[in-house]
Amino acid sequence: MKVAVVGATGMVGEVMLKVLAERNFPVTELIPVASEKSVGKEIEFKGKKYKVVGLQSAVDMKADIALFSAGGETSLAWAPKFAAAGTTVIDNSSAWRMDPTKKLVVPEINASELTKDDKIIANPNCSTIQMVMVLAPLHKKYNIKRVVVSTYQSITGTGVKAVRQLENEYAGIQGEMAYKYQIHRNAIPQCDSFEDNGYTKEEMKLVRETQKIIGDKSIAVTATAIRIPVVGGHSEAVNVEFSNDFDVNEVRNILHHTDGVTVQDNNDTYTYPMPLYAQGKDDVFVGRIRRDESQANSLNMWIVSDNLRKGAATNTIQIAEYLVAHKLV
């Protein structure tokens, strides 16, 4: 299995390499790919050194699978070239997510839709993945009408520049800014740029991607996305209105038996999800599960996940694992 990692020197790319090694993905040849300024650099994978190559060289090497995490523009320009060379692309950017001809995949929910003909597969937004992991099994049982979500997102979602900004601010150093405002001791109510409707792109991703992954455009979603000075993962306060009534203990039981979801929900022991403990783990953690007493058939939850792992690298590699297991590459 010849595997290219496009964006291998970036924050998500580095986690991809780590997850590939941890999960013993059957890599027989690794092709680390990055921008021209990184070509020739060496990266280490499973104790071996590999030289970073450029995009055209990688296309010519005809990988079986290419894991993309190099931004939307790169993906739009290069994913079709890899696909034309026979490589199956799994893309982490927003470039292909809402393309009606491309599958948007969270393996636990909709990997069964994949076929050999899918040469470009979209990985959803990090904040969407963790939310739909919890919503999908509940939708099957109770039918979701409406979702109100507020996200509290890690700076790692912005990248290395944001991590550096926070570190500089901790240390009292004036440096390059990833955000328009300081992030240390602050909460910025803007993730990504604004759309014409007053919502940010990040907020609208939660709306559109949730409907596409679950496969139900009737689900109403409204979102507010906030950046906070946290490193370990994204947190979400999620309010769900169902068509049918529910028992809170049954909700916990459904989620307890959902692959990839860990229930942390015990008020007596102060057990609930936090990014501090989600960091470096692949599961989605859910807690503070309680009935919304202000409205019928409604539920409140708190959902946390490491945005670089299940929110990006791990989900991408799980898609690749499904393709290999079902002989689709």
Q: What is the reported pLDDT for 190?
A: 98
Q: What are phi and psi of 178, to 5 degrees?
A: -85, -30
Please compute the mean of the pLDDT values over residues 310-322 and round it to a whole number: 98
- Positions marked active-site: 126, 234
**Which pLDDT value is given to residue 174?**
96
Q: Please indicate if the annotation marks 307 as binding a ligand.
A: yes
pLDDT, residue 267, reads: 97
- pLDDT number for residue 46: 95
Going by pLDDT thresholds of 50, 70 and 90, the confidence category of residue 84 is very high
- Nearest alpha-carbon partner for 90 in 62, 69, 72: 69
- Residue 65: what pLDDT? 98
Q: How far apart are the first and last CA of the chain?
A: 9
* 37 in a labelled binding site: yes
Question: DSSP per residue over 5-45, as a string?
Answer: EETTTSHHHHHHHHHHHHTT---SEEEEE--GGGTT-EEEE
State the alpha helices, DSSP H only, in the chain. Answer: 11-22, 55-60, 72-84, 107-110, 126-142, 160-171, 201-214, 248-256, 275-278, 314-325
Query: What is d(CA 213, CA 163) in angstroms, rounded to the nearest whole number?
Result: 30
Which whole-number Å values give the CA distances from 38 to 8, 46, 53, 121, 178, in the listed order? Answer: 10, 20, 8, 26, 21
Over residues 104-120, mean pLDDT: 98
* Band (224; pLDDT cuts 50, 70, 90): very high
Q: Are 43 and 65 in contact (CB under 8 A)?
A: no
Does 33 carry a binding-site annotation?
Answer: no
Ordered by where they begin, the domains of the chain are 2-124+312-325 (3.40.50.720), 127-307 (3.30.360.10)
Say which residues have a Cβ less than 8 Å from residue 223's Cβ, sequence separation at least 6. Answer: 148, 149, 150, 151, 199, 202, 203, 204, 206, 207
Span 173-220, pLDDT tens digits: 999 999 999 999 999 999 999 999 999 999 999 999 999 999 999 999
**Mean pLDDT across the chain, nearest whole number?**
97
Instruction: Express each pLDDT in 267-312 by its tens digit.
Output: 999 999 999 999 999 999 999 999 999 999 999 999 999 999 999 9
Please report, rounded to a whole number, the percentage of residues in the chain having pLDDT higher than 90: 99
User: What are the C-alpha distances in Å from 14 to residues 21, 68, 85?
Assistant: 11, 12, 25
DSSP 46-80: TTEEEE-B-HHHHHHTT-SEEEE-S-HHHHHHHHH
Please indicate if the annotation marks 123 as binding a ligand: no
185 labelled binding-site residue: no
Q: 125: which DSSP letter?
A: P
Residue 315 labelled as part of a binding site: no
180 is in an annotated binding site: no
